């Protein structure tokens, strides 16, 4: 890059790359700094686009942002596919929420009743209806629900496609690390560095460890189920995300730890719940067991927009467990803010000043 960029972005995860792509298509010169693109939380993420099944008590504003972003996903995916010719595992088969025991079902139902109360599209199903949709589910199931609008994407392939889209739009990827924002000679700096945002900005972003498994169906078959399955099994909460490649992602722990060690206990709990819910998974290969660090915030919601007292610096971090679903809305809101200078009202609950 011979000329100074208009926008320097720290972090080439999905959020940073999507902002870069969107800004470049609006005519801005953009540089993205990352020594290892796609190596953060997105590498471990399952890629559920699940605003409904992820709507939790006391997180009403976050639920609104999740829903808004999920609604943007079809257009975002179409634009990304058109810009790159890439396929990135975007699937709209829906999500089944299932409870193994009576206690599990009660816990799941308590949550989906809350979600229904918010007007979100989720409907209870009897065990026979669940197994009609997915015969691979265990006959022991006590019940569940379907959230037809909760979809999925493959985060690793998403990052690859976003990188291609960004580079085709003229974005420069700079492979060096950034240790101080003052190094960056651009009028606008976006910190999309995930957990790295804390050291760069002082924002209250902390690592939240997640352990995740990747299984693979035997004989190069696709998995024996098509819905994302969010299950409650003997008190464990687990999700199973099937991909056309035969991969099934099984996740995830949520641990207040900053290491990335895979532990025997976590693998045991994830596998037990997975096999209890879908018995045929016992015969799948275990191809990967990894741990990643999500960028968590005090209220579990992202930090989006201007950094108080740091003119020209914007935050797009703290996406915690929701970085993939929130990528389109984050890219749109931050790009609009950069281009127009006017913050969208959607940003208001998520700006950094809420922690002051």
236-242 and 247-251 strand pairing? antiparallel
> What's the Rg (C-alpha) of the chain?
20
CA–CA dist 136, 118 (Å, integer): 31
Whether 178 and 170 have beta carbons less than 8 Å apart is answered as: no
List the x/- string, 182-221, binding to a copy of itself by CB under 8 A: -------------------------------x-x------
| In the complex, minimum distance from the CB of residue 135 to a copy of itself, in angstroms, rounded to a whole number | 19
Altogether, the residues listed in the chain come to a count of 356
| In the complex, minimum distance from the CB of residue 271 to a copy of itself, in angstroms, rounded to a whole number | 4
* Cβ-based nearer residue to a copy of itself, 261 or 342: 261
3-state secondary structure of 61: helix
300: left (phi over 0), alpha (psi -120 to 50) or beta: left
Verify binding: residue 257, a copy of itself, rule CB under 8 A. Answer: no
Residues in contact with a copy of itself, counted by CB under 8 A, come to a total of 21
* Cβ-based nearer residue to a copy of itself, 13 or 231: 231
Verify binding: residue 345, a copy of itself, rule CB under 8 A. Answer: no
DSSP state of 204: -
* Cβ-based nearer residue to a copy of itself, 44 or 215: 215
Binds a copy of itself (CB under 8 A): choice among 275, 324, 325, 334: 275
* Cβ-based nearer residue to a copy of itself, 32 or 248: 248
CA–CA dist 90, 108 (Å, integer): 26
Q: 96 - beta bridge partners? A: 146, 229
| In the complex, minimum distance from the CB of residue 245 to a copy of itself, in angstroms, rounded to a whole number | 16
Around Cβ 172, how many Cβ atoms within 10 Å? 16
Considering only 111-119, 193-201, 230-238, 261-269, which stretch makes contact with a copy of itself by CB under 8 A? 261-269
Helix (H) or strand (E) holding 314: strand 313-317
Return the closest-CA partner of residue 296 out of 199, 201, 206. 206
Verify binding: residue 274, a copy of itself, rule CB under 8 A. Answer: yes
Considering only 3-11, 36-44, 131-139, 267-275, which stretch makes contact with a copy of itself by CB under 8 A? 267-275
Verify binding: residue 258, a copy of itself, rule CB under 8 A. Answer: no
Verify binding: residue 254, a copy of itself, rule CB under 8 A. Answer: no
Chain residues binding a copy of itself by CB under 8 A are 213, 215, 261-265, 267-268, 271-272, 274-275, 281-287, 289
């Amino acid at each position: 890059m011979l000329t100074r960029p208009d926008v320097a972005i720290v972090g080439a995860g999905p959020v940073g790359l999507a902002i870069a792509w969107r800004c470049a298509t609006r005519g801005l010169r953009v540089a993205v700094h990352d020594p290892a693109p796609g190596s953060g939380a997105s590498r471990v993420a399952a890629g559920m686009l699940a605003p409904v099944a992820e709507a939790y008590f006391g997180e009403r504003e976050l639920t609104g942002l999740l829903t808004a972003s999920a609604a943007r996903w079809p257009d975002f995916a179409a634009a990304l596919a058109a810009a790159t010719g890439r396929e990135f595992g975007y699937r709209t088969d829906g999500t089944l929420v299932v409870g193994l025991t009576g206690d599990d079902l009660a816990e799941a139902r308590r949550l989906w009743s809350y979600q229904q109360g918010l007007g979100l599209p989720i409907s209870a199903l009897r065990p026979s209806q669940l197994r009609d949709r997915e015969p691979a589910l265990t006959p022991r199931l006590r019940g569940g629900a379907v959230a037809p609008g909760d979809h999925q994407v493959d985060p690793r392939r998403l990052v690859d496609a976003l990188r291609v889209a960004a580079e085709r739009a003229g974005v420069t990827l700079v492979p060096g690390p950034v240790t101080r924002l003052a190094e960056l000679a651009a009028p606008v700096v976006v910190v999309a560095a995930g957990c790295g945002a804390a050291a760069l900005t002082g924002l209250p972003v902390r690592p939240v460890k997640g352990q995740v498994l990747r299984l693979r169906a035997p004989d190069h078959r696709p998995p024996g189920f098509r819905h994302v399955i969010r299950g409650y099994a003997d008190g464990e909460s687990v999700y199973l995300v099937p991909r056309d490649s035969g991969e099934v992602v099984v996740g995830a722990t949520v641990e207040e730890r900053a290491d990335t060690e895979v532990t025997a206990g976590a693998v045991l709990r994830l596998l037990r719940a997975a096999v209890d819910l879908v018995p045929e998974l016992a015969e799948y290969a275990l191809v990967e067991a990894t741990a990643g660090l999500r960028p968590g915030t005090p209220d579990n919601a992202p930090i989006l927009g201007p950094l108080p007292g740091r003119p020209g610096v914007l935050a797009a971090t703290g996406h915690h467990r929701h970085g993939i679903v929130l990528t389109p809305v984050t890219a749109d809101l931050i790009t609009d803010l950069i281009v127009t200078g006017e913050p969208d009202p959607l940003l208001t609950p998520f700006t950094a000043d809420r922690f002051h």
